[in-house]
A and B are shown apart, each in its own frame.
Chain A
Amino acid sequence: MMLTLLVLPALIMFIVSFFKNKKAKFLLPVSSFAILLPIIELFVLPKPYAIAGSYLVADKLDTYILLVSSIVGIGVTLALLTLDKHVKVSANAYRRFYRFFAIFWVGLSISILSNHMGIYWIGLELATLSTVYMIKTNHTRAAHKEAWNYMIVGAIAISLVLFGIILMYASAKPILGEEAMQFDLLLSHAKEIPSPFLFEMGFAIATVGMFVKMGFFPMNLWLANIERASFYPVAALFSGILESAVLIGFFRFSQIAMEINYAHLYGFVFVYTLLTIFIVSFLIFRAKDFMRLFSLSGIEHMALIVLFWVSGGTFAALLHFGAHAFLKPALFLSTGVLESNGKYRIAGALRGYRGKKGTLFWFLVSLFLLAIISLPPSPMFFSELYGFGAMMETAKHSDHMLAMIAAILLLLILLSVIFYRFVAIYQSMKYEGKEEEKKVYASELFALVIFALCLAALMLPASLDYLRSIA
């Protein structure tokens, strides 16, 4: 029953996307709102809640990630209502975008709720493939090229994930049989796995696949180029939803790997994320347009989430994840307005918004821009404090305290570079350039208000308690 409720809105969206009536366009965001209802019900139900046997099981972690993703989905569909006001898009392409969004949502729900490595992979692959066509909705040569790029690099990344899954499965099959695919069983029997080296090798390969998919080293510009070439809602979906599905996979795999050999896992992930942030911070420093700037900043935040998670800062990682999932899509959707009609100018981008709607728009964009660089009282400020605290705590139990202090200092320097660049861009947007009258539409503003409210709700004591209870 719950599975039907979760899939039904996507099915309605898929069917409605075939209607050629102009009013059908308004039914699509309504159906995306309907996604929220079963997820709210999932929150109330006792956990873990079996949705489809032992294959799909809702626990506190995946319910939280699903809720965040569904809110992002609603925001994106609201902003989609005025897509044709900012970019050239045909009615056919618009409807097809929704058709693939529905498939994307089904794949995503499956991968987030899965308690099974194989089903997780199937869901992720389905979500990945459906986004390929969303990139192609933009009928430009660059988008066409990037759609192929995404298809091929995405396929390599996802194949690496499957390769890793097969090795992990092979390592645990002697003791668990066909049930060696289940996350919960793997976690409870992690210490009994007869060939831990095989599991670790599988984990490392799957992790590299997931990191490539999130744009980590050495594929830092891969996602940025794709997001630049496609329409802005695609970038919002990537940063707010697709990366959540990849992250939950990493969370699940790493929980098991932590039980097997924590030192190996920590060393591998630590070096990888540090290297990624090092490169990304300098790429951000050189970024000359909003899309690339936000996209690269997304990689930086994903790396921080991963780092906090493996450091044992589960609360910090989840708080950072939630804040990023609301902030980044909000910024990408704002980019659609800021870059209306193909104007990529940063100088003066926030000037010329008049009236109540205009004022609210520039205020919200300023808020998001400053929140993404962890300026207090942004949830990211607190999550970073807790995250660095968790890193120090991990170092206390090892002989590498000095190395950890040095690493944190290096991270702070790199984050300062990013902070400096964002502040400079904000000042240029607000105080430089010509002032031309610009327009913002109610539906996209409504989407931004939803994200701002959710960000505030994330800081409520009840929300923080919920995140602590996951930890």
Chain B
Amino acid sequence: MVDFLIGLFLATLIVALFTSRLYRLILWYSMNSLILGLLALVIGRTLDDKAMLITGIATILIKAIGIPYLLKNLSSKFHFVRQIQPEIKVQYAIILIPAILVFTFYLAEPITHMIHGNANYIAISISSLFLSLLLMMEHRNVAPKIIGFLSMENALFLLGITATDGMPMLVELGIFFDLLMAIVVINLLFHNEEANL
């Protein structure tokens, strides 16, 4: 089950890289977060870790529902450009993405021997981080860059739950809080006129 979900997690991120419509990109981010939340729930249940279960629920509520809803609202409020053509052409992206995946598996090779459990999860977390960075780089518009940043947080979260069997609850809640703060700041940045605030 965990393998299946991690595969889906990576697949949603790869699809997001090829998306040329903003709302579809938000949807893929939402799916990516939903799978992350489910992963935390599954791993949490296996390890009987209540903190991870709470984190999983919070991920689904905040990242899979709350943030995409907010982003969609912001998009219609500030009339974002919804046609977001990636700067990297599809034919190059098709070569680049597998190259990143192979490279990260190679990069994570020495680390994987030192971690208990399935070592490939770490490699997938690192590749997700690189793919999120690629998502930020391949778009000129701000909105996809924000989604790239949020996907990067998801990749870090995946690393947290797979490499360390979950980080301390306090840290995970703190990361959520910071994420919300980031959304507030992003919201404020979109307001050009003070009077609107």
Q: What is A's interface to B at a CB cutoff of 8 Å?
A: 55, 90, 92-93, 96, 103, 116, 118-119, 121-122, 125-126, 129-130, 132-133, 136, 139, 144, 147-148, 151-152, 155-156, 159, 162-163, 166-167, 169-171, 173-174, 178, 181, 194-195, 197-198, 201
Contact among B114, B152, B171, B186 for A198, CB-based, below 8 A? B114
Contact present for B152 and A166 (CB under 8 Å): no
A147 to B187, CA, bound (A): 13
List residues of chain B with CB within 8 A of the CB of A130: 181, 185
Contact present for B189 and A197 (CB under 8 Å): no
A-facing residues in B63-86 (Cβ within 8 Å): none
- For the residues of A in contact with B, the DSSP-based class is helix
Which residue of A has the minimal Cβ distance to B197?
A: A92
Contact present for B163 and A170 (CB under 8 Å): yes
List residues of chain B with CB within 8 A of the CB of A195: 114-115
Contact present for B111 and A119 (CB under 8 Å): no
Given contacts A133-B185, A156-B136, contact A170 B115 (CB under 8 A): yes
List residues of chain B with CB within 8 A of the CB of A93: 194
Give the Cβ gap from B74 to chain A, nearest Cβ, in Å.
14
Contact present for A122 and B171 (CB under 8 Å): yes
Contact present for A166 and B114 (CB under 8 Å): no
| Given A163-B156, A197-B110, A197-B114, 10 further pairs, Cβ under 8 A | A93-B194, A96-B197, A121-B171, A121-B174, A122-B174, A125-B175, A129-B178, A133-B185, A181-B168, A195-B114
Contact present for A194 and B167 (CB under 8 Å): no
Contact present for A163 and B129 (CB under 8 Å): yes
Which residue of B has the minimal Cβ distance to A158?
A: B178
Contact among B156, B165, B171, B181 for A129, CB-based, below 8 A? B181
When A and B form their complex, what is the total count of cross-chain residue pairs whose Cβ atoms lie within 8 Å?
Answer: 104
Contact among B149, B167, B174, B189 for A147, CB-based, below 8 A? B189
Contact present for A122 and B178 (CB under 8 Å): yes
Contact present for B156 and A166 (CB under 8 Å): yes
Which residue of B has the minimal Cβ distance to A198?
A: B114
Contact among B110, B111, B145, B178 for A152, CB-based, below 8 A? B145
Given contacts A122-B178, A133-B189, A198-B111, contact A163 B197 (CB under 8 A): no
Given contacts A122-B175, A163-B159, contact A136 B145 (CB under 8 A): no
Give the Cβ gap from B135 to chain A, nearest Cβ, in Å.
12
A17 to B68, CA, bound (A): 31
A425 to B136, CA, bound (A): 40
Contact present for A167 and B111 (CB under 8 Å): yes
List residues of chain A with CB within 8 A of the CB of B15: none
The residue in B168, B188, B189 that gathers the most chain A C-beta atoms within 10 A of its C-beta is B168
Which residue of B has the minimal Cβ distance to A178?
A: B168
Contact present for B160 and A166 (CB under 8 Å): yes
List residues of chain A with CB within 8 A of the CB of B133: 156
13 sample A-B contacts, Cβ–Cβ < 8 Å, listed by A number? A119-B174, A122-B171, A125-B181, A147-B189, A148-B142, A151-B182, A152-B149, A155-B182, A156-B136, A159-B153, A162-B156, A167-B163, A195-B114
